[in-house]
């Protein structure tokens, strides 16, 4: 058999399938590695704000003070005003730094590139173009609950 | 008398310990309990009880007094808290010092009023001195003390025994299936807590039996069955995963065989 | 594609290099080259898989005493395909040792280590040492009881060497007991230093093999056959002819590895506890002969045997077997010595495996004591003594 000249099409088929086998093997490894490395679904987070040392409480915020905590909605900045608490997303829309409340200027400021927002989330100055999002804040016995602001 | 106490501690480790019968480690030999000099029958019974063997209790835990004091007057002096034979109405309270659950449910049941001499107390069924581990079989004899020949009671006892026995069998089955699968899938040990939890839920039924109320027992059994079902789901998933891995091995070898065949074809073409 | 090649060729003059590469890849091997000559390729594949799975494991592994065990457990049971990845790495380590030993036996019996290929052999012995080093350091990383105490026992042995022993041990484990410091050291050796050494040595090993071609069966004082002579004699080019055989072996090896990893997941016990030693601590199977030897001879002697063995292997082509004969039948003393040593080592391994266990052979229960000697066990009511 081996001395009979192999026909062209068969040769091409065998070559193609061998190539497919190699590609399949590599795909198997790569796919497995991909599945292995795929990030685990992040913790859904809580509706209650969590700080460095556990749940944050309304008492943690002094007059004209502020606090930043994690929640299901991401990092949230809560500022105490005379008529209650105001909540804003705390991630700067420019390059993702965490903003802070400056009581002296009465503005929300980003330390990275100087973006400034007012308490409506609107951009006052600096490189940011998109506003921060206002969230609804309620004080409950367990802590500070944040929920998406209802439209309108 | 201190040397006697010392002896009690040392004896189990000496050769003579074997002659003394079964003195549990750390327990006072029954012959060193002075009460048994007069109350020898009670002493003999008590020595066989779980209270002596496992509980490390002595006479004073129920009767007061000082069981290691040889002088009878001093042993039963008022400052030792000696109460002698407990009043019938007070027995449940004494048992409830350790067995609060059964006492609580017993109070809900048909035998509740301890002052009524027609009603049994704890020791009617469980004995006073020779207390042994309570099992379902206890009902075969204990109920008949008062209800011998009462077909309705016999039927009810059988329902209780069967229901509990079957639930226990389900627990044993789950345990043995878990053990055999854990030998293959070591990761199951992380779910072991679920199995232990299911067992604990089933054990909640023990105090509840004292109310002799089928509804109360069914609550526990339903709760147990839910937990056991969750354990079953975990085990099913483990078996399913194992089956899937077997199929994956078949697939791998089909792939290898196909490629080796192609390599052979290729070589014939060279 | 052609333009890309041209771009590089214009600047680096790749054409002559490419020609040399082609020539060496297509160099015909002697006629006797058969399936036994595919084990090196399988080893290369296994080492590649170890590299891949090892890098993947490093992503989630945390080399600290407090976190190592939990991170391995998370890899096993939480990371998608994590159990498979670690099992493949674990089984791969066993297959590599087996394959490396078989490969070495093949080279020995075909006389391939002889002049002019002594360097290839010596690098191969070095690779064996590196592989064993991988096994030794990797064993500790899961940080479970078996890993911890296996390492305690294994690192205790060198301490018996006079004067330098205790210092060596202390330096090796980074203190006077196996602890966090040990884990850090072993980790760096396992994931950085040894891979570095391995890659360099494998590269050199492969280069020498291709550059010198596969050894013939002729005496070393006769001229080596030229590639043309090999071809005329019925030999085949390495590429593509022999490479197809290599590929088949690699596919089968991969199949074995994946099947083992799927069906028999790697073990993870209970977390390391320096305050309580579990029963029946034994090293990996390939360290069993050395482990068992330590029970019969003074520790100083026993501990030096494995390095001595590697030294003998290095000296084999240089000083021990310098006769021009390649055929195993014409160098009976070396072959006999090799076989006797192999059987002795295998026997020690079997004794080490049996020691301190109770097994039933033909209906009689035997307890094998520390030295591996069997003692008949009286059967008592069907309840075993152990």
The ipTM (two decimal places) reads: 0.90
Taking the Cβ of residue B255 and every Cβ of chain A, the question of whether any pair is shorter than 8 Å is answered with: yes
Q: Measured between alpha carbons, how far is residue C8 from residues C2, C19, C51, C229 in Å?
A: 10, 15, 29, 36
Burial readout C306-334 (b: 16 or more C-beta within 10 A, e: otherwise): beebeeebbebbeeebeeebbebeebeeb
Provide the whole-model pTM. Answer: 0.81
Please say if the pLDDT value at position B11 is more than 60.
no
- Report chain C's mean pLDDT, rounded to a whole number: 92
CB–CB of B268 and A2 under 8 A?
A: yes
* Percentage of chain C exceeding pLDDT 90: 76
Quote the pLDDT of residue B8. 44
Mutate to test the interface with B, among C262, C267, C268, C270 (most CBs of B within 10 A): C262
A15: chain B residues, CB-CB within 8 Å: 266
* Percentage of chain C exceeding pLDDT 70: 98
**Closest chain A residue by Cα to residue B259:** A21
CA distance B188 to B177: 11
Quote the pLDDT of residue B15. 38
Mutate to test the interface with C, among B252, B254, B255 (most CBs of C within 10 A): B252
CB–CB of C52 and A33 under 8 A?
A: yes
Quote the pLDDT of residue B19. 37
What is the distance in angstroms between the CA of the first residue and the CA of the last residue of chain C? Answer: 69
Pairing of strands A143-148, A66-71: unpaired
Taking the Cβ of residue B115 and every Cβ of chain C, the question of whether any pair is shorter than 8 Å is answered with: no
CB–CB of C79 and A25 under 8 A?
A: no
C59: chain A residues, CB-CB within 8 Å: 36-37
Taking the Cβ of residue C77 and every Cβ of chain B, the question of whether any pair is shorter than 8 Å is answered with: yes
Please say if the pLDDT value at position B5 is more than 70.
no
pLDDT in tens, B151-180: 988 898 899 999 999 999 999 999 999 999
Taking the Cβ of residue B252 and every Cβ of chain C, the question of whether any pair is shorter than 8 Å is answered with: yes
Burial readout A104-122 (b: 16 or more C-beta within 10 A, e: otherwise): eeebbbbeeeebbbebebe
With residue A87 as reference, give the H or E element that holds it.
strand A84-89
Is the separation of the CB atoms in C151 and C159 below 8 Å? no
What is the distance in angstroms between the CA of the first residue and the CA of the last residue of chain B? Answer: 102
Question: If you average pLDDT over each of A143-147, C57-61, C272-276, which comes out highest?
Answer: C57-61
B266: chain A residues, CB-CB within 8 Å: 14-15, 18
Is the separation of the CB atoms in A133 and A88 below 8 Å? yes
Quote the pLDDT of residue C383. 45
C59 vs A21, A35, A37: nearest CB: A37
CA distance B175 to B192: 10
Quote the pLDDT of residue A42. 65
Please say if the pLDDT value at position A8 is more than 80.
no
Q: How far is B183 from chain C (nearest CA, A)?
A: 11
Q: How far is B252 from chain C (nearest CA, A)?
A: 6
Longest dimension (CA), chain C: 86
CB–CB of B266 and A24 under 8 A?
A: no
**Closest chain C residue by Cα to residue B191:** C77
Q: How far is C76 from chain B (nearest CA, A)?
A: 8
Quote the pLDDT of residue C379. 60
C88: chain A residues, CB-CB within 8 Å: none
Mutate to test the interface with A, among B252, B265, B267 (most CBs of A within 10 A): B265
Surface-to-core class of residue B251, CB atoms within 10 Å of its CB (0-12 exposed, 13-18 middle, 19+ buried): exposed
DSSP letters of C37-58?
GGHHHHHHHHHHHHHHHHHHHH
Q: What is the 3-state secondary structure (H, E, C) of C367-385?
A: EECCCCCEEECCCECCECC
pLDDT in tens, C359-384: 888 888 888 888 888 888 876 554 44
pLDDT in tens, C220-269: 999 989 989 999 999 999 999 999 999 999 999 999 999 999 999 998 88
Q: pLDDT band at residue C282, thresholds of 50, 70 and 90?
A: confident
Quote the pLDDT of residue A7. 61
Chains near A with 3+ CB pairs less than 8 A apart are B, C
pLDDT in tens, B48-83: 999 998 878 899 999 999 999 999 888 998 888 898
Burial readout B50-82 (b: 16 or more C-beta within 10 A, e: otherwise): ebbbeeebbbbebbbbbbbbeeeeebbeeebee
**Closest chain B residue by Cα to residue A20:** B259
Phi, psi of C357 (to 5 degrees): -130, 165
Chains near B with 3+ CB pairs less than 8 A apart are A, C
Is the separation of the CB atoms in B59 and B45 below 8 Å? no
pLDDT in tens, C69-113: 999 999 999 899 999 999 999 999 999 999 999 999 999 999 999
Question: If you average pLDDT over each of A128-137, B85-94, C159-168, which comes out highest?
Answer: A128-137
C251: chain A residues, CB-CB within 8 Å: 21, 25
Is the separation of the CB atoms in C326 and C111 below 8 Å? yes
Taking the Cβ of residue C81 and every Cβ of chain B, the question of whether any pair is shorter than 8 Å is answered with: no
Is the separation of the CB atoms in B80 and B60 below 8 Å? yes
Least confident window among B213-217, C298-302, C326-330: C298-302
Phi, psi of A134 (to 5 degrees): -80, 135
Quote the pLDDT of residue B4. 45
Within 194-223 of B, beta carbons closer than 8 Å to A belong to: none
Quote the pLDDT of residue C362. 82
C244: chain B residues, CB-CB within 8 Å: 263, 266-267, 270
Mutate to test the interface with A, among B251, B260, B268, B270 (most CBs of A within 10 A): B268
**Closest chain B residue by Cα to residue C242:** B267
Mutate to test the interface with C, among B183, B241, B245 (most CBs of C within 10 A): B245
With residue C324 as reference, give the H or E element that holds it.
none
CA distance C89 to C49: 8
**Residues constituting chain C:** 386
Q: How many CA atoms lie within 13 A of C304 on its CB side?
A: 10
Q: Measured between alpha carbons, how far is residue B118 from residues B112, B114, B198, B270 in Å?
A: 11, 9, 38, 103
Quote the pLDDT of residue C104. 97
Quote the pLDDT of residue A47. 86
Least confident window among A74-78, C96-100, C278-282: C278-282
pLDDT in tens, B14-46: 433 333 457 888 888 888 899 999 999 999 999
Surface-to-core class of residue C103, CB atoms within 10 Å of its CB (0-12 exposed, 13-18 middle, 19+ buried): buried
Q: How far is A28 from chain B (nearest CA, A)?
A: 10
How many contacts, defined by CB atoms under 8 Å, are there between B and C?
51
pLDDT in tens, B173-229: 999 999 999 888 888 888 999 999 999 999 888 898 888 888 888 999 999 999 999
Q: How far is A36 from chain C (nearest CA, A)?
A: 5
Quote the pLDDT of residue B3. 45
Quote the pLDDT of residue B172. 95
CA distance B1 to B5: 7
pLDDT in tens, C178-226: 999 999 999 999 999 999 999 999 999 999 999 999 999 999 999 989 9
Please indicate whether residue B182 or residue C39 has the higher confidence score (pLDDT).
C39
Please say if the pLDDT value at position B94 is more than 80.
yes
Extract long-range pairs of C98-105: CB within 8 Å, 24+ residues apart: C99/C39, C99/C42, C99/C43, C99/C46, C99/C253, C100/C43, C100/C127, C100/C128, C100/C131, C102/C39, C103/C39, C103/C40, C103/C43, C104/C128, C105/C342
Enumerate the β-bridge partners of residue A75: A70
Taking the Cβ of residue C241 and every Cβ of chain B, the question of whether any pair is shorter than 8 Å is answered with: yes
Taking the Cβ of residue C26 and every Cβ of chain B, the question of whether any pair is shorter than 8 Å is answered with: no
Q: In terms of Cα–Cα distance, which of B96, A70, B100, A25 is closest to C250?
A: A25
Cis peptide bond upstream of C227, omega within 30: no
CA distance A85 to B59: 66
Quote the pLDDT of residue B13. 42
Taking the Cβ of residue B259 and every Cβ of chain A, the question of whether any pair is shorter than 8 Å is answered with: yes
């Amino acid at each position: 058999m081996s001395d009979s000249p192999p026909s062209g099409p068969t040769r091409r088929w065998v070559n193609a399938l061998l190539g497919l086998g190699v590609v399949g093997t590599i795909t198997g490894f790569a796919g497995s590695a991909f599945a292995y490395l795929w990030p685990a679904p992040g913790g859904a987070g809580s509706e209650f704000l969590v700080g460095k040392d556990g749940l944050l409480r309304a008492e943690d915020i002094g007059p004209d003070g502020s606090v930043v905590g994690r929640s299901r909605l991401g990092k949230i900045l809560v500022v105490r005003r005379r008529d209650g608490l105001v909540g804003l997303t705390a991630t700067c829309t420019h390059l993702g730094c965490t903003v802070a409340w400056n009581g002296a200027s009465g503005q929300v400021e980003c330390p990275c590139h100087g973006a400034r927002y007012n308490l409506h989330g609107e951009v006052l100055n600096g490189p940011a173009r998109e506003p921060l999002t206002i969230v609804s804040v309620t004080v409950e016995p367990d802590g500070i609950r944040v929920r998406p602001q209802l439209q309108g | 008398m201190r040397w006697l106490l010392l002896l009690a501690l040392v004896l189990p480790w000496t050769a003579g310990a074997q002659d003394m019968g079964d003195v549990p480690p750390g327990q006072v030999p029954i012959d060193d309990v002075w009460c048994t000099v007069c109350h020898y029958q009670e002493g003999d019974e008590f020595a066989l009880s779980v209270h002596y063997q496992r509980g490390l209790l002595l006479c004073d835990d129920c009767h007061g007094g000082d069981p290691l004091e040889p002088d009878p007057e001093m042993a039963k002096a008022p400052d030792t808290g000696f109460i002698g034979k407990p009043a019938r109405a007070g027995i449940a309270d004494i048992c409830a010092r350790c067995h609060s659950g059964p006492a609580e449910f017993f109070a809900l049941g048909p035998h509740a009023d301890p002052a009524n001499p027609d009603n049994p107390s704890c020791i009617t069924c469980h004995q006073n001195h020779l207390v042994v581990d309570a099992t379902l079989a206890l009902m075969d004899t204990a109920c008949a003390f008062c209800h011998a020949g009462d077909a309705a009671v016999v039927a009810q006892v059988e329902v209780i025994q069967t229901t509990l026995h079957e639930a226990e069998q389900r627990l044993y089955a789950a345990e043995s299936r878990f053990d055999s699968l854990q030998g293959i899938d070591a990761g199951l040990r992380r779910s072991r807590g679920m199995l232990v939890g299911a067992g604990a839920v089933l054990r909640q039924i023990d105090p509840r039996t004292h109310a002799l109320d089928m509804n109360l027992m069914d609550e526990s059994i339903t709760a147990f069955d839910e937990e056991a079902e969750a354990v079953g789901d975990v085990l099913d998933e483990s078996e399913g995963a194992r089956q899937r891995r077997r199929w994956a091995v078949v697939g791998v070898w089909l792939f290898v065989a196909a490629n080796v065949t192609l390599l052979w074809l290729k070589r014939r073409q060279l | 594609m052609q333009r890309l090649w041209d771009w590089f060729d214009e600047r680096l003059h790749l054409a002559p290099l490419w020609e040399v590469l082609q020539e060496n890849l297509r160099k015909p091997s002697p006629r006797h080259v058969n399936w036994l000559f595919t084990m090196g390729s399988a080893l290369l594949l296994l080492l590649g898989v170890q590299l891949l799975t090892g890098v993947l494991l490093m992503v989630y592994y945390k080399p600290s005493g407090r976190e190592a065990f939990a991170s391995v457990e998370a890899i096993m049971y939480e990371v998608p395909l994590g159990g498979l990845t670690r099992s493949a790495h674990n089984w791969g380590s066993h297959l590599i040792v087996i394959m490396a030993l078989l490969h070495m036996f093949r080279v020995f019996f075909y006389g391939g280590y002889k002049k002019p290929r002594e360097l290839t052999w010596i690098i191969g012995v070095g690779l064996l040492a590196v592989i064993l080093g991988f096994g030794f350091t990797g064993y500790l990383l899961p940080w479970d009881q078996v890993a911890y105490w296996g390492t305690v026992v294994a690192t205790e042995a060198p301490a018996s060497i006079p004067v330098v022993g205790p210092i060596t041990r202390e330096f090796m484990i980074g203190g006077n007991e196996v602890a966090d410091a040990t884990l850090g050291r072993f980790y760096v050796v396992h994931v950085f230093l040894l891979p570095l050494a391995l890659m360099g040595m494998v590269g050199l090993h492969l280069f020498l093999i291709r550059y010198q071609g596969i050894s013939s069966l002729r005496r070393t004082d006769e001229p080596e056959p030229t590639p043309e002579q090999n071809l005329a004699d019925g030999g085949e080019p390495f590429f593509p002819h022999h490479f197809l055989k290599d590929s088949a072996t690699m596919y089968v090896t991969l199949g074995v590895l994946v099947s083992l990893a799927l069906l028999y997941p790697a073990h993870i016990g209970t977390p390391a506890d320096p305050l309580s030693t579990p029963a029946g601590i034994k090293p990996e199977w390939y360290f069993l002969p050395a482990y068992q030897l330590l029970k019969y001879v003074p520790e100083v002697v026993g501990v030096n045997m494995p390095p001595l063995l590697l030294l003998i292997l290095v000296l084999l082509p240089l000083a021990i077997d310098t006769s021009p004969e390649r055929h195993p039948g014409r160098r009976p003393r070396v072959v006999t010595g090799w076989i006797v040593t192999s059987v002795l080592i295998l026997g020690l391994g079997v004794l080490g495996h049996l020691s301190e266990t109770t097994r039933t052979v033909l209906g009689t229960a035997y307890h094998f004591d520390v030295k591996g000697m069997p003692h008949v066990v009286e059967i008592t009511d069907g309840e075993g003594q152990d």
